[in-house]
Structure formats: C-alpha cells, structure tokens
A and B are shown apart, each in its own frame.
Chain A
C-alpha cells in the first residue's frame, strides 16, 4: 500500500517522491472499535518497519565489510605491483648513473639481462637449437596426449578434455606448439585487423590470469573458437592463477588452428619480468622441472612477437591497458615490437655484455616509442581530465576523458575496450561509455569476490556483455553472508600477515603512545600508526574489530594482533633466531628478494652463490630503505652455508620464513 511512493535505498533506481512514516507513538489511542482497528494496523505497520529497518542495517554492515575486503585486496595488489616496477625503474635509473660500487653494478647487470644479445640470425639459430622439441624425449611412462603437426581441431578438443581431467601436456609437445605459435605470430602486424564482416560477431575476453575454469565456462556459454566464432584475447593470460600454462597452450592451439579468427593482444603479464614474481615462472618450474629452462627461454621469445592491440571494423580499439596523450596508430604500426623482450626493459636499453654496466642512453625518439608501448599495456583510466604518469602501478599513464575524446577523434574510433583492472561485475564503463573495461577472471581475489565478463561485438547491433561466475558446485547462489565471509577471510589473512611482518616496527610506535605501559591506546592513534607503518590506506575503523581486541573502555589492546600468529624462521642459525627484526625485514621483502634471486639464477637451478646472496640483500638494503645490515647478512650467509660449498638454495631459504598460527598465548610475550 505504501510501496509505490518510496525511493528505495536498497535498489538504486529512484521511484517517485517520498512520504514520511507516522511513528506509532503519535497515533491517538481511543477506545472506539473503528480506531482500535486503525491502531492495530498501525502497530502492525510499525512492527513491520522495525524488522525491515533492522535487517537493512545488518545488510549494510555486511556490505561495508565486503567493500572493505575489496579495498584490502586492491591496495595490497597494487602495492605489490608498484614494488615490482619501482624495483625495475630504479635498476634502470642506477644503470644510468655511474655505478660506484662494481659489486652493485654486477647485480644490476645480472638481473636485467636474461639472455645475452646476439644478432638476429644468431639468436634464431640459438633458439631453434636449444629449444627444439627434438631435444626432449618422451618417456614410456607418459600417458598423456601426443601431438604432431599439423595441429588441428581434434588436438584442441582433446586438450580441453585432458586438462579438465588434470592431465599435463608433455614438454616436447609444449615446445612444438609454442614454436608453431611463434612462427605465425612473427608474420602479424603490431595491431590486429579484425572485421565482423565474415561472421557478424566477435567476442573479446579480458584478463584470465591462469583461471582455466573461467575459459572453459566461457567456451561452454559462448561456443568454441572457430571461423564462425572469432575471439580476441586481450592479454594477461598467465600469472597469478594456477593453470597459466594450460591456458596458454589451449589459446595457442586455438590460434594455430584458426589463425585468422583468433587474435591475441599482449598483456603486461606476458613479460618474463613479471613472470618472475607473479607465479608463471614458478608454475613452469614446478610442472616441468628439468625442461623448465627451455620452456622459459622460448616464452621469452614469444611474448615479444605478440601484437599489442586489435582494431575491430576500423572503429573499436582493443588493447590491454589503455591509451595516453601520445597514442598514435601510425606510430605504433611502425614500431619494431620484437625489440621489446620485456616491455619494462627493451633490448636497446640493456647493455650487451657483462662488462658493460652502464645503460645505453636513449634518444628522444626511442623514449617516446618506448612510452607508446608501455602506455598501451600499463595505463589506467581516471575520472578527471588530463594525463599523468601512473605512479600507482609504476608504468603507463592515468588518462582522463578528454584524452579519450582526443584519441578517438584523431583516429575516428568510437570505443576503447581494455582490461587490466579487476571489476566486481566483470566489466565497467567510464568516460561517458567510451571506454569499456572487461575482466574475465572471476573469483580473482577470493571465491565470490567478483564476476567475470566478456563482450560480444556485433556487426549491426549494439554490443552485448555477458557475465559469469565459475563455482565449484552450482547448487545455489551464495547469499550475501556467505559471499562476504569467503571474500573477507582471505583478505584479513593477508592483512594479518602484514601485521606480523611489521611487528617490531608497530610495537615500537604503539609503545611510544603508551607511556604508562597499559598495553592500550586510543582508536585514533592506533589507526594512524597502522596506516603509517603498513603504508596501506584502508578503512581501519571498520576493520579493527577483526584485527585486534578492544577493551570495555573502547581502547585498543594493541598486542592482541600478534597473539595468534607469529613469524617463525626455521633455519638452524643462531644469527637469525636472535634477530626478530631481521627476520621481519627479510619476510617483508620476500617477494622482492625472490624476484631478484630468480632473475640472477640464469640456469634456473634454484641456487645462487653466497656472494650473490649477500650482494643482493645489501643492494636492496641500500636502495630500498629496508636496512639489511651488511654484517648481519654476511653472518647469516655464513651461518646457513652449513655444507660450506658456497651456494644457497634460495627457495628453501625464503620458505623458511613463515607466519604460523600459534593459538592464544597465556604467558607474556618476550620480544
């Protein structure tokens, strides 16, 4: 009865104007039968409203928790990426300046150069020889699929079934497929030319990040790729997820079978520098062990041949990151894209030999060209006008609606489709619907965190966006409560790790604010310290009840964050066990250390020399503000080199630093 006139805050679309409720207290209580009926219905009404209001309150509390969890994920993700890029940026900066310490220079040189630079023909020869499928034998025990050229639809379908069953494809056949892909990619222009003329529709897929189940769900909903059903894959196929290699193989095979109807765009993660840190390299090492080096070497030589964008019907521009104020199709087409082995360190930047430790200085043209490439794969849109460097990511630009208009007009385009950013609904429009973000990895942060989506571009119809969510059991959709719990749990776990990893620094600041040693500080102070030490802008007031104990006076019992979890170091070394803050420093920089160690480890043996180990730690300490004390690190290195053979297994070393649950302590904490 009152329904038709409300603006309902639970459903965002507004209805007509409002009416205010008459509170039950104002209803006169007469004893006539007529008004008794009236009074009863008023009481009923107010009772209904009480229940409805309290329920909506509860929903809102969960909603803010969900959004806070999302903020945690994004902040931590970007902080990580930012780290990675900062690392590379300052390697390059340091190379430009004269490296004063030759040891440092050597570290930088080793990190930046993955493989030595040969002439183009020499390189081809080297590649063919070292990564030929012929160099890998099939053991009799191999029961998986066998692949021979020519690769056909049958292989594609068999691989889908095999991967679904959890099977692996033998390294020999992976090499075979990758060589085929490379051969075809080399012939392609920098920008794919796509037309809906033939098939009336083309489907664009965004980031997949190793989520095989999402791709299979898309094929199920949208059909397998074919000459009648073309696909554009807009980058970031690998890294983060656990089935990057299977995904890349499937997409490669589809590409080989339908080379004029499957289009690949390079993403910022199609880059060995990022693979070092974000999981793809680890996955290959784990799944292919002794053959991993060959595969990695070949991947490094495939990424550079991936086109950087696609243009549909001359008016829809599809690229992984986005654009910037200098984006120019003519210029992009002229670039020799194969120089960009890594978008972050193209070959003309890296010195050619070990002896050369200074970066080559670049001409203005080279710098601009580099920016063209970087901007396409790393940029993000922003709300305000203008174009500025993307310091959040450390590469590419933030571009505003005026830049979109400018670039669209210049090229006579009508729409930019890009990916690169995770969106809750799997897609998002901005800049007056002239930019569409499409993201196809559902459950990216945690189960239930977000949907995936893909977009279908039609010849004579408006485009259509299709959403999906890969779930293990499709019995019933998760309720709000279930979704929030799942998503939040993992986010909070990630956050608690940061607390443990920064325990010494946090406790030092807490104690400064607690001169009477009561173990408690005010909420405001706790929030300020946590923001400052962890360098995370998060809604701490909303989160605090899940991170720390609060006493009856509303004060924060700051030590309680550290009671259930502890950073432990399982290395048999007296040096480390006495030094909690050194432990924590190493743990905090685990990802960075791992990246640099792995980059130095050219033969992927998992082992580097003690000298290299110490050099890296000290180097990072000098330039990262993380204070790896040189003496401490040298002592540490010596103490863990029990075999005295001068090498360290860095995987083992890093894995020894772990945050473990220790349950509630009853005794007083020591450090």
Chain B
C-alpha cells in the first residue's frame, strides 16, 4: 500500500494520474463486451471454415437468430453496409461486428409489439371471422410483400393451422407461437 511519503516522492508526471472510476463507462464497456461475445458466437455458428467469414446468403439467418426482426429490404441495407465489394459473396467478422454492434446498441429492428402483430392478422381478416384460411394466407403471403417460397409457406402452415383437419388458423392463439422467445 502506498504511503503518503511514497506519493510525495513519486515522479511529477504521476501527479496527474488520478483515475476516477466511472461506473457508467464501466457498465457500458461490460455491455459492449457482452454484445461482441454474443455477436461473435452467432457468427461462428455459421463460419463453417473457421476463417472469420460467413456467406452473404446466411446474413439473414444470423441477424434474425439474434432475435431481431428486419424486413428483407432492411437486411439488404444491412448487407450493403458490411459487404466488401472485392468479395461480395462473404462477410468478414470485423465488419459484421462493427455494423451489428451499433444496431444492437441502438436497439433497432426490435420488431412490433404483440398487439401490432395481432392487428396485422386482423387487417388481413377482411371478413372479421377471427380466423384465416390456408387459401387466404397463400394469397397474401406467397404473392405480396416479400413473398414466401413453397418451403417457407409449408412450414408456416404447419404451425399456423389449428389442427390437421380444418384449414383454419385462429390467429389470436397463433400469435403466441409466432413470437417465440429468442435465445436470450
């Protein structure tokens, strides 16, 4: 432990070296570290060759696996921010971390609250039935917006339908399944 005499006899430069602890800064730094670790881990799951890159086509899955809800269009924006013109097919970890860290920090692409999602179904339910049919879903989800492909639609209908027999989706119950908790 430094005694007063030690401090007094310390070199003059060290007089200015009083470091105040900044709890806010420390907590931000911890949060930052946690974000980086989380992002790196998600990235690594898709980094098959362990060379710090992932194919651009996997970006959507990686970003969404963090629990975010960007649209396809928004993903495209994210992609253009982090892709490298000399190698458009892959994304490097460094750029990924830069862009995604800010996105997480700013809490972007968090998606809508449950009530708004329910409202979305209600909008499509023009007859006010309280349910939607497979055909109605097909008309909307496969033809409009950012359309599903066959596989996506099939997977969607498997969880959407109330049961195997009727082709109805009582969307009020379904919303719970749709917004399954993310991994954190």
Contact = CB atoms under 8 A, between A and B. Distances in A.
A287 B111 CA distance: 58
Interface string B127-167: 00000000000001101111111011011101100000000
A49 interface: yes
Give 5 closest A-B pairs by Cβ, nearest first.
A9-B60, A60-B64, A12-B57, A48-B145, A47-B120
Contacts of A481: 155, 158-159
B93 to A, nearest CB: 15
B60 A60 contact: yes
Given A61-B183, A383-B51, A539-B42, A20 B146 contact: no
Given A9-B75, A542-B41, A47 B147 contact: no
A97 interface: no
Contacts of A9: 57, 59-61, 72, 75
Given A47-B124, A71-B45, A54 B145 contact: no
Contact of B178 (A55, A480, A540): A55
B76 A539 contact: no
A334 interface: no
A524 B33 contact: yes
Contacts of A3: 143, 147
21 contacts: A8-B149, A10-B148, A12-B57, A20-B74, A21-B73, A47-B119, A50-B112, A51-B140, A52-B71, A54-B178, A55-B178, A57-B64, A57-B182, A60-B61, A61-B182, A479-B155, A524-B34, A527-B37, A541-B37, A541-B183, A542-B42
B158 A542 contact: no
B99 interface: no
Interface string B52-68: 00010101111111011
Nearest to B147: A3
A2 interface: yes
Main secondary structure of the interface of B (DSSP, over half): helix
A57 B74 contact: no
Contact of B64 (A2, A49, A56): A56
Nearest to A65: B183
A56 B64 CA distance: 8
A507 B90 CA distance: 41
- Scoring B74, B119, B183 by chain A CB atoms within 10 A of each residue's CB, the highest score goes to B183
A524 B45 contact: no
Given A61-B64, A541-B37, A48 B152 contact: no
Interface in A486-503: none
Interface residues of B, number: 63
A67 B47 CA distance: 11
A64 B74 contact: no
Contacts of A65: 183
B11 interface: no
A96 interface: no
Given A2-B145, A54-B117, A59-B155, A541 B182 contact: no
Nearest to A40: B123
A47 to B, nearest CB: 4
A480 B151 CA distance: 9
A45 to B, nearest CB: 6
Interface centre among B49, B117, B120 (most CB of A within 10 A): B120
A11 interface: yes
Interface in A72-122: none
Contacts of B152: 10, 55-56, 59
Contacts of B57: 9, 12, 14
Given A48-B141, A542-B183, A53 B69 contact: yes
A63 B61 contact: yes
A508 interface: no
A58 B155 CA distance: 11
Given A6-B72, A64-B45, A542-B42, A58 B178 contact: yes
A58 B76 CA distance: 19
B65 A63 contact: yes
A49 B123 contact: no
A49 B146 contact: yes
Interface in A7-54: 7-12, 14, 18-21, 43-54
